[in-house]
Amino acid sequence: MVALTLALIAVAYLDRVCIATAAPAIKAELGLDDSQMGMVFSAFTFAYAIFEIPSGWLADRYGARVTLTRIVLWWSLMTAMTGLATGFLSLIALRFLFGIGEAGAFPAMARAYSRWLPSRERGRSFGLAIMTGAVAGAITQPLVVLLLEHTSWQRVFALFGCVGVGWAALWWWWFRDDPRQHRSVNQGELAEIAAGGAEDRPHGHVQWRILMRNRTLMVLCTMYFCVIYGWYFYLTWMPTYLLRARGFELREVGWLAALPLLSIALGVFLGGWISDRLVLRLGSRRGRQACGLVGLPVAAAAVLGGVLTKDPMTSALLLALGGGAAALGVAPAWAVSLEIGGVHAGVVSGAMNMFGNLGGTLSPLVIGSALQRWQSWDSPLISVAVLYLAAAVCWLVIDPGDRIEQG
């Protein structure tokens, strides 16, 4: 089950990241400016954000099997159709529809984890999943550069759109929402899953007022907004920054833009693995808090260093370090969303991811606007560092024991 979700996230990031590397070619052919390209980047994340909670509710209500199959088929179609864009309006509409389609992938995956995994394995599993996405995104950067040397960006999107269809067919054939209904799960595994705190109660009525009054959920959403704001700089504008602000060649950019994503991959894996181990030694609250409290201040310092240094390679390396350090708290955040959410794990994790992607929506807009008006990279990157520090403060308040009452 975990292996299939790793493949899911890899396909998601393949389709999500390819537009960042193809952006210079798209801008040139469709006649877009920096501000318009920022809006194209944000169209996906805005749609993805606002449909996270509804899709998370659908995963809680109908299960991860049907929800993820629908999600992947939709986003694969929209990825392929991106190549049909003929101008700004059609491109932004297709990216918006792509965002609607991909919304709910992580909450549905969280719902599957809450049914199939003991609590002590969830941080590590989320770390592996998000690490896989970052690695896939890193591989996508040079892969798109290579493909663009031989074919058009339209055909690249059509090719990537085909990958998800095969995953959806495999998932529908193999996965079952209840592990007790799967032929390959034996009694020993079922006993271990049950003893580890897996959630097997039916999804009840969502008491939205109770959710909105939960302090940990509100602070968790704020923290994730700040972290993903910075994350989306790496997913969208990083290749352009290396080309225009630091003077690298396109072939160099493919690999240098992959470095932050590889660093993020390492960060999310280490954060999930370390937090699971620290929970056993320090308890749930301190164990989940530690990685964010350490990693985010380091990330802020690294991003500021990347802005201030005059050496292009040092800047690229410091920014990569910043992405990885900030990612240390990502997998623990997903583990906390499951721990406080219970039977509403899909809705709670969807709420957190919604706010995160609202941050991801804002980030490309801020950068695109700063470039269009002031030709400045410094101010938007400094805002990334400031929000990383704000996220570290949020971790002081987050408490996995602050569970939401069950409706």
3-state secondary structure 336-358: HHHHHHHHHHHHHHHHHHHHHHH
Q: What pLDDT, on the 0 to 100 scale, is given for residue 201? A: 53
Q: What does the pLDDT look like over 6-38, one tens digit per residue? A: 999 888 888 777 887 788 889 889 998 888 888
Of the candidates 50, 110, 340, 354, the one whose C-alpha atom is nearest the C-alpha of residue 217 is 340
Residue 104 has pLDDT above 50, yes or no: yes
Residue 212 has pLDDT above 90, yes or no: no
pLDDT bracket for residue 407 (50, 70, 90): very low
Q: Please work out, in degrees rounded to the nearest 5, the angle formed at the alpha carbon of residue 20 by the alpha carbons of 255 and 380.
A: 95
CATH number of 2-178+190-395: 1.20.1250.20
Catalogue the long-range contacts made by 302-305 (C-beta closer than 8 Å, 24 or more residues apart). 303/230, 303/381, 303/382, 303/384, 303/385, 303/388, 304/382, 304/385
Give the mean pLDDT of the chain.
86
Tokens 């965002």 appear where? Answer: 99
Q: What does the pLDDT look like over 337-395, one tens digit per residue? A: 878 877 777 778 888 988 998 998 898 888 888 888 888 888 889 999 999 999 999 99
Tokens 């529809």 appear where? Answer: 97
Q: What does the pLDDT look like over 170-206, one tens digit per residue? A: 999 999 988 888 888 888 888 887 776 555 555 555 6
More confident residue, 338 or 399: 399
Q: What pLDDT, on the 0 to 100 scale, is given for residue 205? A: 59
- What does the block give as tokens for 362? 């804002």
Q: CA 148 to CA 141: how far, in whole Å?
A: 11
